[in-house]
């Protein structure tokens, strides 16, 4: 059996585990909204048409913030279509996903749903086909108390109190040629700066996210960030990053190492932002909003789009995730936590049905996909201060990333509660013996070891018929002797190790 060592010490602090790292995403795409979070007439729908089974699973998932309404959808969206009496709302062509949008679910429905789901709303404005005025109008309608035409219109529509949305995205993926309203970096940077200035005049309390690159492989990557931030650095609080990892080619070794790419992506965006800060003499460090990330079998998308005409809420990229995919998602969460000093927001895309941890059947049940579990457990237990771990690990070869470590880890220490949690991923196809050095912590003692292992059957998945086929399993409680702990990490596994610490 291969061996690895990790040192965990509270002196190696990175930063606080921000609750906004455990965000999700609801876009008007496929059946994420219609048939996902919203299905009037469903046996478990409440009086407002929200599926209570999905609400319950959203709360169980531990989602903290939800980005809405897109995504590509927002770049052609008129927010006014989604307010006022539902019977008066127009039906529109959605150019992003080639569907008909009924607008039965809009701003008020989302805000009501978010309150019931106990999540913070994160709104995106359309900077694809619209601009400064429309963004300010939406902000005034949403956040201004009363006494103006738009705030009083909100009150007329039934929301007496302002919604007080604090997080706003200045468009979506406008570096992408697929985007309605695609722009150059200079075009977008100037528009984003103008919009940011105006929005903060309307409500100075808000935080703004400028569009970064759609993925690290874009030909304009880094130069896009540099140009955009030269326009916007002093006006925004975050730069966005998006990435998806596609297992379709069957390269298991590389897909298991996806977090290596995410790690590089974050470091390179940070370096670019810090370059602009130095150039413009800013003392404030900009943070990243990693507001789209997941595993996604992207090769299936075009077939989904080509095989139908203009219809309402078609099934779209409803990927069934495997046990191996769950290990990859758990490792991506490890990476986000490891950069907690610079990543302040993260949203897994999406919440329901569309490449999602929650799947539903129209008029039927909802169930947890394999990727639900590492997200839910990380959100539940990653509380306190993120610690940099010091692993010594064997490596294995990959076609995409060269030789990468078999082991990936991060730790989170809650000094007040007296708890240490170590997240450990074994990317290798054989078991790994892990030696944990915990001598820097006060009187550590083992509490539990949960593992989600894919080594025996990487293709196993949860379905409506077998909703609990892939779940984390409790294994032997870790034993600490003299501040050291030896545990076995199964092949291709995500692991959560809990320890009590007592001063």
The DSSP secondary structure of 295-354, one letter per residue, reads E--GGGHHHHHHT--SEES-----PPPBHHHHHHHHHHHHHHHHTTTTEEEEEEE-SBSS
Q: What is the DSSP string of 207-274?
A: EEEE---S-TTSTTTTHHHHHHHHHHTTT-SEEEEEEEE--TT--HHHHHTHHHHHHHHHHHHHHHHH
Residue 301 has a pLDDT of: 80
Residue 157 has a pLDDT of: 98
Q: Are strands 92-94 and 402-405 parallel, antiparallel or unpaired?
A: unpaired
Is residue 42 located within the same domain as residue 72? yes
Is 173 catalytic? The answer is yes
Rounded to the nearest 5°, which phi and psi values hold at 124?
Answer: -115, 140
Residue at which a domain ends, from 337, 360, 381? 381
Of 1 and 3, which is predicted with more confidence? Answer: 3
Residue 276 CB coordination number (10 Å): 20
Is residue 369 located within the same domain as residue 452? no
Lookup: tokens for 66: 């939800």
Residues in Cβ contact with 166 at an 8 Å cutoff, skipping those fewer than 6 apart: 120, 205, 206, 207
For residue 71, is the peptide bond before it cis, meaning its omega torsion is within 30 degrees of 0? yes
Is residue 390 located within the same domain as residue 377? no
Residue at which a domain ends, from 364, 381, 398? 381
Residue 40 has a pLDDT of: 98
Region of poorest pLDDT, from 144-148, 210-214, 306-310: 306-310
- The two counts, helices (H) then strands (E), for the chain are 11, 27
Residue at which a domain ends, from 337, 364, 381? 381
Could you report the per-residue pLDDT of 257-281, keeping only the tens digit for each? 999 999 999 999 999 999 999 999 9
**Residue 74 binned pLDDT confidence (cut-offs 50, 70, 90):** very high
The C-alpha angle 23, 25, 26, rounded to 5 degrees, equals 140
Q: Residue 483 burial (CB < 10 Å; 0-12/13-18/19+)?
A: middle
- Write down the catalytic residue from 140, 173, 225, 318: 173
Q: Supply the mean pLDDT for the chain.
A: 97
Residue 233 has a pLDDT of: 98
**Residue 468: CATH number of its domain:** 2.60.40.1180
Is residue 416 located within the same domain as residue 359? no
Is residue 362 located within the same domain as residue 408? no
**Residue 390 binned pLDDT confidence (cut-offs 50, 70, 90):** confident
Of 304 and 235, which is predicted with more confidence? Answer: 235
Is residue 394 located within the same domain as residue 458? yes
Gap between the Cα atoms of 90 and 87, Å rounded? 8
Domain of 39, in residue numbers: 18-381
Mean pLDDT confidence for 242-251:
95
Could you report the per-residue pLDDT of 338-358, keeping only the tens digit for each? 999 999 999 999 999 999 999
22 has pLDDT over 80: yes
Is residue 175 located within the same domain as residue 221? yes
Gap between the Cα atoms of 288 and 99, Å rounded? 31
- Write down the catalytic residue from 292, 416, 419, 466: 292
Is residue 438 located within the same domain as residue 335? no
Gap between the Cα atoms of 417 and 425, Å rounded? 25
Residue with tokens 């950069």: 339
Is residue 189 located within the same domain as residue 204? yes
Residues in Cβ contact with 324 at an 8 Å cutoff, skipping those fewer than 6 apart: 247, 252, 255, 256, 454, 458, 459, 492
Rounded to the nearest 5°, which phi and psi values hold at 291?
Answer: -95, 15
- Cα 353 to its chain centre, rounded Å, is 15
Is residue 421 located within the same domain as residue 455? yes
Residue 488 has a pLDDT of: 97
In 3-state terms, what secondary structure has residue 196? helix
Beta bridge partners of 238: 209, 287
Q: How many domains does the chain have?
A: 2
Is residue 338 located within the same domain as residue 433? no
Gap between the Cα atoms of 57 and 352, Å rounded? 10
**Residue 87 binned pLDDT confidence (cut-offs 50, 70, 90):** very high
Gap between the Cα atoms of 202 and 301, Å rounded? 39
Residue with tokens 């050291």: 484
What Å distances lie between residue 27 and 74, 106, 414, 426, CA to CA?
Answer: 8, 11, 34, 33
Residue 303 has a pLDDT of: 73
300 has pLDDT over 90: no
Q: Contact at 8 Å (CB) between 476 and 486?
A: no
Beta bridge partners of 246: none
Gap between the Cα atoms of 410 and 470, Å rounded? 23
Is 80 catalytic? The answer is no
Among the listed residues 407, 490, 483, 404, the one whose alpha carbon sits nearest the alpha carbon of residue 445: 483
Could you report the per-residue pLDDT of 453-475, keeping only the tens digit for each? 998 999 999 999 999 999 999 99
**Residue 304 binned pLDDT confidence (cut-offs 50, 70, 90):** confident
**Residue 75: CATH number of its domain:** 3.20.20.80
Is residue 473 located within the same domain as residue 447? yes
Q: Contact at 8 Å (CB) between 257 and 304?
A: no
Mean pLDDT confidence for 170-189:
98
Mean pLDDT confidence for 366-384:
98
Residues in Cβ contact with 4 at an 8 Å cutoff, skipping those fewer than 6 apart: 391, 392, 393, 394, 406, 407, 432, 433, 434, 435
113 has pLDDT over 90: yes
Residue 305 has a pLDDT of: 76
Query: How many CA atoms lie within 13 Å of 185's alpha carbon, on the beta-carbon side?
Result: 18
């Amino acid at each position: 059996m291969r061996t690895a060592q990790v040192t965990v010490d509270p002196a190696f602090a990175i930063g606080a585990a921000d609750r906004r790292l455990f965000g999700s995403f609801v876009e008007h795409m496929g059946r994420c909204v219609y048939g996902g979070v919203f299905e009037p007439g469903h046996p478990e729908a409440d009086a407002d048409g929200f599926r209570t089974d999905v609400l319950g699973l959203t709360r169980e998932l531990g989602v903290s913030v939800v980005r809405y309404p897109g995504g590509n959808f927002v770049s052609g969206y008129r927010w006014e279509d989604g307010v006022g009496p539902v019977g008066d709302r127009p039906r529109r062509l959605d150019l992003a996903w080639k569907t008909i949008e009924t607008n039965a679910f809009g701003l008020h429905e989302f805000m009501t749903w978010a309150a019931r789901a106990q999540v913070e709303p994160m709104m995106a404005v359309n900077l694809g086909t619209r601009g400064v005025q429309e963004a300010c109008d939406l902000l005034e309608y949403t956040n201004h108390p009363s006494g103006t035409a738009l705030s009083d219109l909100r009150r007329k529509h039934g929301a007496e109190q302002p919604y007080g949305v604090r997080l706003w995205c200045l468009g979506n993926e406008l570096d992408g040629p697929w985007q309605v309203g695609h722009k150059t970096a200079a075009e977008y940077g100037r528009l984003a700066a103008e919009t940011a200035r105006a929005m903060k005049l309307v409500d100075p309390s808000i935080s703004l996210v400028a569009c970064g690159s759609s993925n690290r492989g874009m030909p304009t990557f880094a130069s896009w960030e540099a140009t955009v931030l030269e326009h916007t650095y002093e006006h925004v609080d975050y730069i966005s990053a998006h990435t998806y990892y596609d297992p379709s080619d069957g390269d298991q070794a590389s897909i298991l190492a996806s977090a290596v790419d995410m790690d590089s992506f974050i470091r390179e965006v940070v370096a670019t932002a810090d370059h602009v800060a130095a150039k413009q003499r800013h003392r404030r460090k900009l943070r990243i909003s990693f507001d789209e990330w997941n595993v996604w079998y992207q090769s299936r998308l075009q077939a989904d789009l080509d095989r139908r005409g203009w219809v309402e809420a078609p099934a779209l990229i409803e990927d069934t995730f495997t046990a191996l995919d769950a290990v990859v998602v758990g490792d991506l969460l490890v990476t986000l936590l490891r950069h907690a000093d610079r990543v302040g927001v993260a949203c897994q895309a999406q919440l329901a049905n569309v490449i999602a941890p929650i799947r539903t059947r129209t008029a039927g049940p909802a169930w947890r996909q394999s990727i639900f579990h590492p997200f839910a457990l990380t959100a539940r237990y990653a509380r306190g201060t993120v610690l940099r771990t010091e692993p010594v690990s064997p490596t294995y070869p990959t076609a995409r990333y060269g030789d990468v470590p078999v082991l990936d880890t991060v730790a989170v220490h809650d000094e007040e509660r007296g708890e240490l949690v170590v997240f450990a991923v074994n990317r290798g196809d054989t078991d790994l013996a892990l030696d944990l050095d915990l001598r820097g912590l006060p009187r550590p003692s083992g509490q539990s070891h949960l593992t989600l292992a894919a080594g025996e059957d990487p293709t196993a998945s949860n379905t409506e018929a077998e909703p609990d086929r892939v779940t984390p399993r409790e294994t032997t409680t870790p034993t600490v002797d003299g501040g050291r702990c030896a545990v076995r990490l199964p092949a291709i596994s995500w692991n959560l190790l809990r320890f009590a610490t007592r001063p």
